[in-house]
Amino acid sequence: MRRIASGATAACVLLILFLVIILIVQFVQIGIANRRSAEYDAAIEHYEQLLESGEITLETLQAEETLRELAIQNGWKFPD
């Protein structure tokens, strides 16, 4: 009976440890997603200000070359 109890206790401890590790990983991923979202919001606000001030036009932003440059600046990689 003691072997069953100690085995069940060990299994429960390992399960709880595994679940805590998963929880920590999820919190880190949520933090990363929130940080990226804030960066994207700041970039959107920056380009909206450029459009309002007349420094740049919508046609310029929609140009393929501009989009390609912005994608590269944000870490996008094109397939070889």
pLDDT band at 38 (very low <50, low <70, confident <90, very high): very high
Determine what percent of the chain is predicted with pLDDT higher than 90: 44
Tokens of 2: 């003691």
In angstroms, the Cα distances linking 38 to 26, 33, 47, 77 are 18, 9, 14, 22
CA distance 17 to 23: 10
CA neighbor of 42 nearest in space, from 11, 3, 74, 65: 74
Question: Of 18-22, 32-36, 71-75, where does the model show the most confidence?
Answer: 18-22
Tokens of 31: 């933090």
Report pTM: 0.60
Is pLDDT above 70 for 72?
yes
